[in-house]
Amino acid sequence: MRLRHIIAAFSCAAAVAAVPSVGLANPVTDLDNHTIIPTPAHISSAAGSPFTLKPTDCISSNESGDPAAQLLAATLRTSTRGDFPVEQHGGKNCRITITAPPATGGSPEENYTLKVDSGSIRIVGGGPVGAVWGVQSLLHLFGPAAAAPVEIKQTISANPVDITDEPRFAWRGLLLDPVRNFWPVDEVESLIDSMSSLKMNVLHMHLTDDQAWRIDITGQDTEHGINFSDLIKYSGNGATAEKLTRFTDQVGRAGWYSQNDYRRIVDYAARHGIRVVPEVDGPGHANAALHAIEALNGEKSYLPPDPETGRAPQYGNYTEKFTTLDPDLEATYAFHKTVISQLTELSDTPTTRKMGLTPDFFHIGGDENNSISDADYAHYMGRIDEIAKNNNLTPIYWGDAAGKNIHLPHAVIQPWAQGSRAHAVATKALTVEPTLKLLASPAEYVYFPTRPVVSQQGENIVGPVYGRCGDAPACGTKHYFDWDPGKLYKVDDDRILGVEGALWAETTRNRGDMEFLLFPRMASTADVGWAAAGNRGWDSFAAALANHVQLLLLHGKNFAIDPEAPAGTYAGVFYPAPDPMLAATDSAHRVLLGYLATTAVTDPDQIHLTATAISRSTGDTTTVPLSYRMDETFHATDKDQATGRRMNSLIHVYGDFTAVSDPDITISVGGTAPYFTADAPKELSWRLRTPPADPAPVAPLTGREGEKLSAVAIPATPGGVWSWDKPDTILVRGDNQVLATFTPDDTNTYSPVTRVLLVKVDEQAPAKTSQPDRRSDTDNGSTPLSSPIPVIIALLLALAGAFAAAMPYLRLPQ
């Protein structure tokens, strides 16, 4: 049975041999000086010139390397002016090549090699996912500007390097809780982008709980009286109730995922190297199902059903006992058969198959079951375990199951409780069951609702603290970094499936709340799961955090300013805008100079930048007044609330060039802002365009009646080219007023302009004697068909003549 081999297949070491390392001359292992998170297994640097990206570069890939190549191309197109076409199957002679063998099923092959020299970049993945991780490492080498969401004028390069990399553990996940607070699809995709950048490969979606049911399940089970559409009808819009937690007064957001929404998330995740694993919790945390489906309510279910509706009341608050399904009802298991089957089908798409990320796991819950006996718990879990395995899925249990003395063969246990006693329970379960695997989620090291800092910019930060952080009342980035799952649970790596962080949503209400808790601590979790134990060190990891923070700033993502990180981690950076003088200026001659990515800016008045225009012909200098635009200002916290925290957005810096007369200038930008000090002014060579002028008028043109407008040529105009807006327009006799657009060239003399041009038509175009070529659409060598019109006319004339000749002999009725 395939199931028995699924977990065993999640060993990455065996696949490394399929991806040979390409050696460099005199390599030097350099794990202490790199910008890649998580820490690579092996990285060697060598002397030589950097590889510098060109706008004309293309990317060559094979079919299995194409998803990674497309990801790289799309990223670079956004931040640069290049097209970066992806050429498959040999194609053009591209300087960047990305290849991988096809996915083999079971565990995705995540290992890769990455070789950079002055003239080429070569990524070879152990499988399609491994190639994606090679691209993410390359983007880290290129620096934050390469993955910016705006176009930046900056040389993108990477020093010569040779990387051979593989993960320590096969599972590096994050639990997302859309039940207590709903996360729309676009916010989930934004999270996936950040996870992929850190090579986290599992998104565990906690889709059901007491408060709400978040996934649409279709159909009916008439035998057991179940209408699955009632799940969304009655429980799709639940959420954490007001005053449920003392850390926020806001209610959770409501909503639910359609099946198309869920497929979209699954496919988007797969293209980024991530598997989506659904969880349907039970027998506890099940009130949303009990409230929606009357047939699930029985003698042993809790909360008790309402006598009028036959369904449990909607869940509004925690109670003295937790909810539970009835383990004696056959409807309970019929219900789960349909739910598990549909979610498995939704997770099995052409994209997941191509990436080797087909549905192999299902999380069946099992936590906090205070309203059910151990015997009933064991019966329920055994039945659900069987349903999962009948769908060729490996079941995952929360760690509570380890203390229930139930048999867990060929399964995964996910302990979450903190403290040495709880850890020992999980260790004992592994000892008793040799086929059981461990997915480590100790609350003290991976539960993200724990507040990351005590204060931020002098404002006190409130929030729960799930773990012990020494004497500190908060758990920061270093605390999340400084642990090892093998040591914590006292087991060898071959018994550990991986690590998973958890973002429970009782205290989060929007994307900013989510990101404040995750970043930069999620980078620590990624490193725990990926990096070899002997390669991990806080100093080298922390040195690479600065690039991670810059990427967060560029993408407008929130994060905590963690005092445990080195001071330079949050240093701001000024990124020049691309060829800003080519952009149309406004009435004040104001142009976009660039972007300031820095933290904790509550007001533009805190920014003190200076800019000077220096004439390249005369050396004269002119001070350029600056102005700023930021879509969002920094907000440390709402008083006594765990919500509302926001990092400021990317700051747009504009210059007023009214007083600058020489178009050929160098711009020098320096100054200070929160977390930003220019060590030396940044000098940018630009060509200033004065207020744009229209190109010279075009004299009236001439054309022929019946011709297309495209046949009329516009004389060459210095500084750019003209093109017709509607070239297929048919000319008529007289004066034709038609639109044409002028596109300027690189001389920067003009702006694009659309103008009405006059085309005089005095005579008819000569008639065409040749018949149109009516060749078949398929070029199969057949003879073109001649026009049938002459033949039809001849037949009609012949018939008319014959009829006229016969008229004298015809007798018409009287």
pLDDT tens-digit readout, 473-529: 889 999 999 999 999 999 999 999 999 999 999 999 999 999 999 999 999 999 999
7-21, 87-101, 569-583, range with the lowest pLDDT: 7-21
The pLDDT of residue 754: 82
The pLDDT of residue 317: 64
Cα distance between residue 275 and residue 282, in whole Å: 22
The pLDDT of residue 665: 81
Q: Is the dihedral of CA 680, 684, 690, 691 positive or negative?
A: negative
The stretch 411-416 carries a mean pLDDT of: 97
Identify residue 669 by its one-letter amino acid code: V
At a CB cut-off of 8 Å and minimum separation 6, what does 581 contact?
591, 663, 686, 687, 688, 689, 748
The mean predicted confidence, pLDDT, of the chain is 86
CB distance 703 to 731 below 8 Å: yes
Nearest to 144 by CA among 555, 449, 713, 512: 555
CATH architecture of 3-165: 2-Layer Sandwich (3.30)
The stretch 673-692 carries a mean pLDDT of: 73
104-108, 143-147, 369-373, 611-615, range with the lowest pLDDT: 104-108
The pLDDT of residue 11: 39
| Residue 800: HSE in the Cβ half-sphere, 13 Å Cα cutoff | 6
The pLDDT of residue 245: 75
Per-residue b or e along 90-129, where b marks 16 or more CB atoms closer than 10 Å to that residue's CB? eeeebbbbbbbbebeebbbbbbbbbbbbeeebbbbbbbbb
At a CB cut-off of 8 Å and minimum separation 6, what does 709 contact?
703, 724, 726, 727, 728, 729, 730, 731, 736, 738, 759
State pLDDT tens for residues 632-662.
Answer: 999 999 888 888 899 999 999 999 888 887 7
What is the percent of the chain where pLDDT is above 90?
Answer: 64
State pLDDT tens for residues 741-776.
Answer: 888 775 555 667 788 888 998 766 454 444 444 333
The stretch 607-615 carries a mean pLDDT of: 93
Q: Is the dihedral of CA 547, 548, 550, 555 positive or negative?
A: positive
The answer to whether 368 is a known catalytic residue is yes
Positions of CATH 3.30.379.10 in the chain: 3-165
Q: Does the pLDDT of residue 682 top 80, yes or no? A: no
Cα distance between residue 525 and residue 511, in whole Å: 20
The pLDDT of residue 91: 62
Taking every pair of Cα atoms in the chain, the longest distance, rounded to a whole number of angstroms, is 123
Residue 794 — very low, low, confident or very high, per pLDDT cuts 50/70/90?
very low
The pLDDT of residue 580: 56
Positions of CATH 2.60.40.10 in the chain: 571-687
Output the 3-class SS for 728-789.
Answer: CCECCCEEEEEEEEEEECCCCCECCEEEEEEEEEEEECCCCCCCCCECCCCCCCCCCECCCH
The pLDDT of residue 558: 97
CATH architecture of 571-687: Sandwich (2.60)
Positions of CATH 3.20.20.80 in the chain: 171-563
The pLDDT of residue 240: 83
The pLDDT of residue 470: 62
Residue 424 — very low, low, confident or very high, per pLDDT cuts 50/70/90?
very high
Q: Among residues 63, 151, 189, 368, which one is catalytic?
A: 368
The pLDDT of residue 812: 36
The pLDDT of residue 90: 64
Q: Does the pLDDT of residue 408 top 90, yes or no? A: no
Nearest to 197 by CA among 549, 498, 684, 567: 549
Tokens standing for residue 42: 């092996």
Cα distance between residue 633 and residue 638, in whole Å: 14
Identify residue 706 by its one-letter amino acid code: G
CATH number, domain 171-563? 3.20.20.80
Residue 579 — very low, low, confident or very high, per pLDDT cuts 50/70/90?
low
Model pTM? 0.83
The stretch 537-546 carries a mean pLDDT of: 94
Three-state SS for 230?
A: helix
Cα distance between residue 585 and residue 590, in whole Å: 6
State pLDDT tens for residues 201-237.
Answer: 999 999 999 999 999 999 999 999 999 999 999 999 9
| Residue 215: HSE in the Cβ half-sphere, 13 Å Cα cutoff | 25
- Give the distance from CA 5 to its chain's centroid: 31
The pLDDT of residue 242: 66
The pLDDT of residue 379: 97
